[in-house]
Structure formats: C-alpha cells, structure tokens
Structure 1
Amino acid sequence: MAEAALNGQRVAAHAAERRNVQNINAPQWRNALFVAPYLLIFVALLVVPLFWGIWLSLHKADAFGVGKFVGLTNYIRLYNDRIFLQAIGNTFYFVFLTVPALAIIGLLLALALNRRTRTAAILRAFYFSSSVLSVTIVTLIWRIVFIGNFGLLATIYGWFGATAPAFLSDARLAMIGIAIATVWWCIGLPMMLFLSALQQVPGEIYEAAALDNASRWRTLWHITLPSIRRTFVLVVIIQIVLQFQLFGQAKLMTQGGPNNVSKPVVLYIYEAAFTKWDLGLGAAASEVLFMMILIAAMAQYIASRRKGEEG
C-alpha cells in the first residue's frame, strides 16, 4: 500500500513537472500583446493603403468619390502618357546620380573619420548635421547657391571672370543640381552606417596584416571591404528606396522643369492626384513606383548575394 501510494505520488509529481515544462515551452498568445501595437500601425499605415491603392487604381476616382470599375485603363493611360514615361526616366537618372555617390562618398568619409580623436568626432557631427535639416531648408540653401547672377556659385565664378553653370534653368543640369543638393543632405546616414560597420571589424585582423607587411591598399581591398560587404549592400538598398521617392527637392527647386526634365514619378503622382484630382491615375502611378522600387532593391540584393557566394 505504502509503495503504491509512493509510486502514485511520483507519477503525479512527474505529470505536474511535465505540465510545467509544457507551459514554459508552449507558445503563449498573450505575448502577442507586446507586438500588437506595432502590427496595428503596420497594417493601418502600410498594408491597408497598399491594397486600397491597388483597388483605387482599378477604378475611375476623383475628389468626389470612387466611380465605376475600369480595370487596367489607368495603367494603359500611363503607358501612353509621354510625361509619365519621361518622369520614370528622370527618376532612374536621379537614382543613378545619387546612390553610387552616396555609397562611395559615405564610405570614404567613414574611412577617413574612423579615428578615436576629438577632431574626427567633430567632423562626424559636422557631416551628419545636414541630415537633420528639413527638405525646405536644404532646398533654400541650395537655391541660394545655384541662383543665377546673384548666387554663391555665380559670385565665386565671377571672381575668376567666368559664368557659373545654370543648374536650375539648364535642362541638362537641372537634375544634376538636385542630385548635388540631395547628396549633401543625405550623406550623414551612409557615413554613420559605414562607421558602425568599420568599428565592428576585429583589430587583431589589422595587426596580423601589419605583421605581414600588407600595404594600406591590400588591407582595404582584402580585409576592410569584405568585412563591411553586407553593410554596403544595406546602404545601397536603403538609398535606392529613398531616392526613388524624390519629391521635395524637385518640387521646391525646379517645379519639375524646365520642360519636365527634372520631374520625378512622385511629383507626377502629386500633380495627377492633387492638382488634376485624377485619383485613379495617381494610384496607378503609385503602384508602378512601388514595383520599380521593389524590383530595383531585390535585383541589387540578389546580385550582391550571388557575388558574395561566388567570392
């Protein structure tokens, strides 16, 4: 009897222990409460607008409401719109001008300022300070620089008896002028990301390279760059996503001119939806922009990943 009772107590204790273990390891749905606020905001501000935009792009819509279903008519209108096709070309041209410059200049600044000195800290703060400015202030600064006859650039050129390039009025230079202002504005984030990556590289590797009498170029090419390859890919993808969304600089500096040569896709969407009140056309253009960003970012990621695997 006593032995049977003891065995029963052991079985009960073992079962209780198993229940406790299962309770610890089993998923607890109340933990979802911790991520629920973010998920609600993510769904409300990203997922719902995405599907709402797709639905809106398939309808004839204006400021008074959503009309009849028109299928792919809005997309066909975009395909036949010369200004929209030009805006796509302008956007790709702007991304081509800014993304490589931001990645390379940001990397060079990070390499130069990766020092534990007060001067390097001051310079890092100086270069990053432009990133906290609003687009309005940035465009005002660069309009003062680029404005013809009275701008800072014209004044400097005047000292040497030369004529400054008309960045804001020359069709060949308008997008280049916007790109220069954008690189100056956005260089802080790539620089800080590269600095963070450089500071994670173990110092023992550089000490071993120094013992092998490796030159600075070989150390950079064979140690530093491979160590921060993932950060470089991250910077490029982030900048692709950001620069495809060019709007404020073009709107405030050139109004998309002259002759629409500096009009990006986002400015076209703004004019279609909020100037002409053609919401269906604007939504269709938004979906095209979304696919452009997605394809460009994924292509860069896949290409970089394959290159890393082959290397």
Structure 2
Amino acid sequence: MSSLRIPLRATARSGPAGRSRRGATGPSGWPFALPFLAFFVLFLVVPIGYGLWMSFTDSSLTGHGDGTFAGLDNYAEALTDPEVWTSLGNTVWFTVLTSVPLVVVALVMALLVHTGMPGQWVWRLSFFAPYLLPVAVVTQVWSLLFQPDLGLFNSMLRAVGIDGIGWLVDDKYAMWSIALLTLWWTVGFNFLLYLAALQAVPDHLYEAAAIDGAGAWRRLWSITLPQLRRTTALIAVLQVLASLKVFDQIYLLTKGGPNNSTKPILEYIYDTGFANYRLGYASAVSYVFFAIVVILSIAQLKIFSRRED
C-alpha cells in the first residue's frame, strides 16, 4: 500500500536570505515626510522660536534698540498694562456672546434639516453658503445693513415706531452687532459638523425607541443629544478658540471703536507691533495671550472628558 506524501512548505527560513517576512522591515517613510517637515520647521517652528526670542528684546520696526536684550521687562509691562486687560476683556466678552449661540443655533439648524424638511438641498445651501464668503464681502454687506440712516435694520425699526440704533457707533450695541454678524457668517461650519454627526447615528436606536412608544422629544433627549456629545465637545472647543482669535470683522467694521469698546487682543497686538513699531513688546503680549489660550483649551478638554466618563 503506497503512502501519500505531502510536501511541507517551510514557514520560515534561517539565514539572511531566508529571513521571515514578519521580521522584515519596509522602506523608510522619512523621504515622504521630509517636504512637510521642511515647511513645518521653516514656517512654524522657526517663526515661533524667533518670536519668543524677540519678546525678550527691545526689537522695533524703526531699528531703534533692535536686538537689545530686555529680559522680562516686556512681560512685566504686559501684565500691568491696562489696555492689555481691556482688550482681553473685550475678547472674552465677544467669546461669551458668540460661542453659545453658534453651538445651539447650529444644532437646531442641523436638527431641522435632518428631520426631513422639504427642499433639503436649499436649506443646506442657504445655511452653509455664508461661511464661504470672504470677510471683506461680509463686512461690506453688513456695514450697509448697520448704516444709521439708510440701513435696513434701522428702517425696519422706524417702520414699527422705534428710533434707530447706532449699531456700530454706540458702545452698548457695537459688540452685539459684531456678534450677530459673526453668528450669521460662521454658523454654517458648525451646522455641517452637526449634520454629519446626525447622519452617523444608527437608525436602529430610533426604531427601537419608536417600538417602545418614545415620542419625538424623548428620542431627542435620550438618543440624539447623547450621541452628539463628542461632536458638541469638539465644536465647543473649536468655537471658543475661533472666537478668542477674532480680528478681521472687528478691524474692518469698527477698528476697535467706539472708544475701544470692541478692540480685541489681537488688534491691540497688531497696533502695538505695526502702528507703534514695538515688535518686542507686541511679541510678549502675544505669548501671554497664547498661554491663556492654551490654559483655556486644556481646561475645556478636561471638563468635557470628565463629562464623557
């Protein structure tokens, strides 16, 4: 009786030529990463390092005292400068006015579109289109709307018997007006993030809740909002950071006025460095602001991570 022999293929070979595939290493990926790393170092790391060194000097655009080491004098002046704290207060006030509405309004808009409103593509386009506009166009259009005599807003108020408001020239209304503009302009980005998150919620959760007799509000509070918790945390962190960095729309509309009631910290840094020519002091103020932003970001992340746990 003949025996059936089945050749066994070696799973691993000894020696350099027969090295196992599991232990083999592929080609290095550094050549592919070097172009990005070069740009990263050249346009981010080097400017950050140079700006940090400049914050300890009396550097100026005029060349007077350029490169003279000043130690911590710039930071000491920044911490005692009342204009720094005033502009920081304006920045925080703008962040408070815009962050919560930009999260809540975006969520409401995404829920309305996701529930199956007729003509969804029209609503999606109208909600997101303002975000695509450049800041120069947005401020030009809204400056016409805010115009005291012929602006649309004051014309509507006068039509119902209310006196016109100095939207951009009154201390009481200037920051509110800029916050309203920012809400209309940037809410589309948060709306898009919420809409993508809503589309990722599993349908079987809603089906099971409907079988159990849960109504629309119960499904919203028990399924939708808990499923959007991570997205809400992400949007909240990004929105606070974006609001703290406000500059463009305020500079184009009011240039920090009236009476510096809308001047944010970034505009103060810009004016100090490029209008007053004090680059060293402006660098120190910018790094103080950078430290504040980092601390707030870490605090936000810790708060949301604890809530998630």
> SS at 1:169's partner residue?
coil
Once the 2 structures are TM-superposed, how far is the Cα of residue 130 of structure 1 from its aligned partner? 0.4
Q: Which residue type is aligned with residue 151 of structure 1? A: G
Match of 2:37 in 1: 39
Aligned counterparts of 2:220 and 2:168: Cα–Cα separation in 1: 39
Once the 2 structures are TM-superposed, how far is the Cα of residue 137 of structure 1 from its aligned partner? 0.9
CA deviations on 1:229-268 (whole Å, 9 max, x unpaired) are 1111111111112111111111111110111110000100
Unaligned residue ranges in structure 2 (runs of 5+): 1-9
Match of 1:169 in 2: 169
With normalisation by structure 1, the TM-score equals: 0.90
Q: Which residue type is aligned with residue 219 of structure 1? A: R
Q: Which residue type is aligned with residue 255 of structure 1? A: K
CA deviations on 1:31-73 (whole Å, 9 max, x unpaired) are 1222332222222222222222111111110114532111111
Check conservation: 1:83, 1:260, Cα contact below 8 A: no
Aligned counterparts of 2:37 and 2:93: Cα–Cα separation in 1: 36
Q: Which residue type is aligned with residue 47 of structure 2? A: P
Match of 1:144 in 2: 144
Check conservation: 1:240, 1:293, Cα contact below 8 A: no
Aligned counterparts of 2:76 and 2:13: Cα–Cα separation in 1: 72
Aligned counterparts of 1:38 and 1:12: Cα–Cα separation in 2: 39
Aligned counterparts of 1:142 and 1:12: Cα–Cα separation in 2: 72
RMSD: 1.8
Task: List, as ranges, runs of 4+ consecutive aligned residues in structure 1 with deviation greater than 6 Å.
Answer: none
Match of 1:21 in 2: 22
Aligned counterparts of 1:201 and 1:222: Cα–Cα separation in 2: 12
Aligned length: 297
Once the 2 structures are TM-superposed, how far is the Cα of residue 118 of structure 1 from its aligned partner? 6.1
Aligned counterparts of 2:117 and 2:175: Cα–Cα separation in 1: 38
Check conservation: 1:146, 1:153, Cα contact below 8 A: yes
> SS at 2:119's partner residue?
helix
1:36-75 correspondence to structure 2 within 5 Å: 36-65=34-63, 66-75=66-75
Match of 1:4 in 2: none
CA deviations on 1:153-195 (whole Å, 9 max, x unpaired) are 1111111121132220111211111111111110111000000
Q: Which residue type is aligned with residue 22 of structure 1? A: G
> SS at 1:18's partner residue?
coil
Q: Which residue type is aligned with residue 33 of structure 2? A: V
Q: Percent identity?
A: 36
Report which stretch shifted further, 113-122 or 165-174: 113-122
The 1:302–1:27 alpha-carbon spacing in structure 2 relative to 1, beyond 3 Å, is farther
Q: Which residue type is aligned with residue 42 of structure 1? A: F
1:280-299 correspondence to structure 2 within 5 Å: 280-299=280-299
With normalisation by structure 2, the TM-score equals: 0.91
Match of 1:107 in 2: 107
Check conservation: 1:256, 1:262, Cα contact below 8 A: yes
Q: Which residue type is aligned with residue 35 of structure 1? A: A
Once the 2 structures are TM-superposed, how far is the Cα of residue 22 of structure 1 from its aligned partner? 2.0
Aligned counterparts of 2:225 and 2:26: Cα–Cα separation in 1: 42
> SS at 2:68's partner residue?
strand
The 1:14–1:303 alpha-carbon spacing in structure 2 relative to 1, beyond 3 Å, is same
Aligned counterparts of 2:12 and 2:109: Cα–Cα separation in 1: 67
